[in-house]
Chain A
Amino acid sequence: MSRQPEEPIFNRIEELRIEKGLSRQQLADAVGVHYQTVGYLERGEYNPSLSLALKISKELQASVGEIFSLTPFRKVRNNA
């Protein structure tokens, strides 16, 4: 059976990281990856393993479902 082309996975890592006031380097150090890898994750150019996804979810204090999705996230308009 041939492997299907990789399905895009959308994420809110950048949004949640900024909300938490973390830099890419800080998040990278916390989850044990290179800061470049955080950049690739945020741009959706790399899909994390389950263990990395769980570490990110713990660090950003959000569930995996809140961070990653197979469908694009709706933009939340800030009317405050």
Chain B
Amino acid sequence: MPKKNKIYWFEGVTEKGVKSLLNDENSKFRWLRSQRNRRVLVILMSLGLILTASGSYWTSIKKELNLDSEVEIIVFSIAAIFVLLSVVGGYSFLRISVRGLAEAPDELLDERQIQVRNTSFRYAYLVMGYIVLILMLLMIVGPRLELFGSDGPDGSFLLISVMFIFASLPSMILAWREKDI
């Protein structure tokens, strides 16, 4: 009888999924796992997240670009779809590059993997603390400085970006720090 694929609801992964990511044999993504390529991916992902967050400033940007309403909608839609798809793709590649360590449950990892995963979460927690602090400051001074344009605040892209940062930061830190063997 085939073994049942255990689902880890809290982590949002399955046993087979984690094991296939941890296994390097027959992997099409071995090239992605070198430290150099992982670091390039982290930089690209950071740029993607900054671009996503900048969508919240569109009301200010479109005034400066002086676009008419039809062109504005087309430019914004294409740019938004492209950037969001890139970030989703980047997140998937990032997970593959670190063998899904950040989301893997303890029982499927060895002691070194648990240690590096825990360290990356410690750093991610500190970085998120600073990001939340900056967001809170933005919430306080934003309306006064009209940071999101005079048409009204639009923090939606900023929130999408922060959600992706929450999800990908431990993997980004792992990808940056883990050395090649």
Contact = CB atoms under 8 A, between A and B. Distances in A.
Interface of A: 32-37, 39-40, 43, 45-46, 48-49, 52
B27 interface: no
24 contacts: A32-B110, A33-B110, A33-B112, A34-B22, A34-B109, A34-B110, A34-B112, A34-B113, A35-B24, A37-B110, A37-B111, A37-B112, A37-B113, A39-B181, A40-B112, A40-B179, A40-B181, A43-B181, A45-B179, A46-B112, A46-B115, A48-B111, A49-B111, A52-B111
B143 to A, nearest CB: 45
A35 B179 CA distance: 14
Consensus secondary structure, chain A interface: loop
A3 B109 CA distance: 26
A57 to B, nearest CB: 16
Interface in B139-181: 179, 181
Contacts of A32: 110
Interface string B98-136: 000000000001111101000000000000000000000
Given A33-B112, A37-B111, A37-B112, 14 more contacts: A34-B22, A34-B109, A34-B112, A34-B113, A36-B112, A37-B113, A39-B181, A40-B112, A40-B179, A40-B181, A43-B181, A45-B179, A46-B112, A49-B111
A36 B181 contact: yes
Nearest to B179: A45
A33 B111 contact: yes
A17 B111 CA distance: 20
A34 B112 CA distance: 9
A9 B166 CA distance: 36
Interface in B61-114: 109-113
A54 B111 CA distance: 14
B181 to A, nearest CB: 4
Contacts of B115: 46
A76 to B, nearest CB: 25
Contacts of A39: 181
A52 B110 CA distance: 10
Of B111, B112, B115, B179, chain A has the most CB atoms within 10 Å of the CB of: B112
